[in-house]
Amino acid sequence: MTFQQVYGYEPSVRYSAPGRVNLIGEHTDYNDGYVLPFAIDRRTTASIAPRADRVIRVASAFDEAGGIVSLSLDELSPEAMDGWSAYVFGIAWALREQGSDLTGKTGFDVFIESDVPVGAGLSSSAAIECGVALAFNDLWELGLDRKTLARVGQYSENHAVGAPTGIMDQSASLLGERDAVVFLDCRTLDTAVVDLALEANGLEVLVIDTRVEHAHATGGYAARRASCEKGARVLGVEALRDVSIEDLPRAQELLDDETFRRVRHIVTEDQRVLDTVRTLREHGPRAIGSLLVASHESMRDDFEISVPELDLAVATAMEHGAVGARMTGGGFGGAAIALVDREARDAVAAAVTSAFAAAGFREPNTFTVRAAQGARRD
Ligand code: GLA
């Protein structure tokens, strides 16, 4: 399906936005902490044509039948949207909720295509949100900057889609740059772009999609977030960002064991992000392997968001010479990443695939990604 096949005419503009891989800094975003993601060379494209009335129509290449969902700008509300089209309508709603005046604005016909794998933990949803947010901001001449658009995307994800996620995915998708990571302070939204220099170092990032499904609107993700909020409350801080490694012994006295371990993950993970940034700047990507592995172990043992497939992927990659490896994203399934020598990439992928077969796991999907430019008008 194409825009032309669905709507019977050609679109006038195209915007695209990438998915993301998080190099390190997991579940730190909603604790006002630090993250270090990068935008990947897998993108979602929104082809768009303006309409004369106030209707937004949405269709996608995923829908073989060419189905169209429509909603008027006068009827925007979370209750009026469901399914994946909420990722598009939700942006218009969130723009308005966040203070943009849509009076007198007209709607669009929108067609979505994507090569960001869905359900792999690579933020296929943020890719739609960010491409659409950039497009609506331009076409409606709202004048919002990219950090504000990231907030709009997060607001839509939280309140229209209903997943209590942080600001990382949208920031990566909007602010990413080629061969670089986005160092983001999730409290201030201050960002710095840090060279990843993988190409120059002969390294690649191998993604191992376990194909174990995860959903952040339900279950474990929200429970982890609640534990973090409880920890902050008991420790008397605004967010876990305000707890340092030196505070941990006192935290252990005040918190129950489970909450303490959740807190310890966040506090040590924030420090690992800072250490990774410094190491990348001073010694380059070959030196960050042990930080990636320590991050994985902390998520496995303290935050308890890994699954056996992710642990096996990381262990096998390390046994076969990866520089570092860890699960990436929200956890409970999704993907792991391994930082590998270009020449070792196929051997590592093959080793993980056979280890999965031997363990009786579903065959993983393995592919490499590069750090790519963020959302843009194409
Ligand atoms: C998901 C959320 C992000 C972040 C990660 C965990 O990807 O969307 O906001 O919390 O999980 O780091």
Domain spans of the chain, in order of start = 3-194, 196-369
Return the structure tokens found at 73.
């700008």
* Residue 169 a catalytic site member: yes
Return the structure tokens found at 264.
């310890």
Confidence band of 219 (pLDDT split at 50, 70, 90): confident
Q: Is the pLDDT of residue 217 over 90?
A: no
Which pLDDT value is given to residue 352?
A: 98
Confidence band of 66 (pLDDT split at 50, 70, 90): confident
In this structure, which residue's CA is closest to atom 9 in ligand 1? Answer: 166
Q: Is the pLDDT of residue 276 over 60?
A: yes
In this structure, which residue's CA is closest to atom 11 in ligand 1? Answer: 330
Check if 29 has its Cβ closer than 6 Å to any atom of ligand 1. yes
In this structure, which residue's CA is closest to atom 8 in ligand 1? Answer: 165
Q: Is the pLDDT of residue 329 over 90?
A: yes
What is the fold, at CATH topology level, of the domain defined by 3-194?
A: Ribosomal Protein S5; domain 2 (3.30.230)
pLDDT tens for 278-294 read 999 999 999 999 999 99
Among residues 29, 32, 109, 169, the one annotated as catalytic is: 169
CA of 180 from ligand 1 middle (Å) equals 19
CA of 189 from ligand 1 middle (Å) equals 15
- Least confident window among 74-88, 241-255, 269-283: 74-88
Check if 171 has its Cβ closer than 6 Å to any atom of ligand 1. no
Which pLDDT value is given to residue 183?
A: 98
Check if 169 has its Cβ closer than 6 Å to any atom of ligand 1. yes
Cα distance between residue 157 and residue 133, in whole Å? 12
Distances (CA, A) of 29 to 8, 32, 203, 251: 43, 5, 27, 20
Which pLDDT value is given to residue 216?
A: 63
Q: Is the pLDDT of residue 120 over 70?
A: yes
Which pLDDT value is given to residue 104?
A: 96
Percent of the chain, pLDDT > 70? Answer: 99
Which pLDDT value is given to residue 15?
A: 98
Check if 157 has its Cβ closer than 6 Å to any atom of ligand 1. no
Cα distance between residue 96 and residue 286, in whole Å? 45
Check if 153 has its Cβ closer than 6 Å to any atom of ligand 1. no
CA of 215 from ligand 1 middle (Å) equals 11
Check if 26 has its Cβ closer than 6 Å to any atom of ligand 1. yes
Spatial CA neighbour of 334 closest among 215, 223, 246: 215
Cα distance between residue 260 and residue 227, in whole Å? 9
CA of 70 from ligand 1 middle (Å) equals 29
Which pLDDT value is given to residue 82?
A: 84
State in Å, rounded, how far the first CA of the chain is from the last one.
Answer: 20
For the CA of 121, the closest atom of ligand 1 is 7
In this structure, which residue's CA is closest to atom 5 in ligand 1? Answer: 330
Domain 196-369 bears CATH identifier 3.30.70.260:
no
pLDDT tens for 73-112 read 999 999 999 888 999 999 999 999 999 999 999 999 999 9
Check if 27 has its Cβ closer than 6 Å to any atom of ligand 1. yes
Which pLDDT value is given to residue 215?
A: 66
Residue indicated by tokens 């950039």:
134
Spatial contact of 118 and 84, defined as CB atoms under 8 Å apart: no
* Model pTM score: 0.96
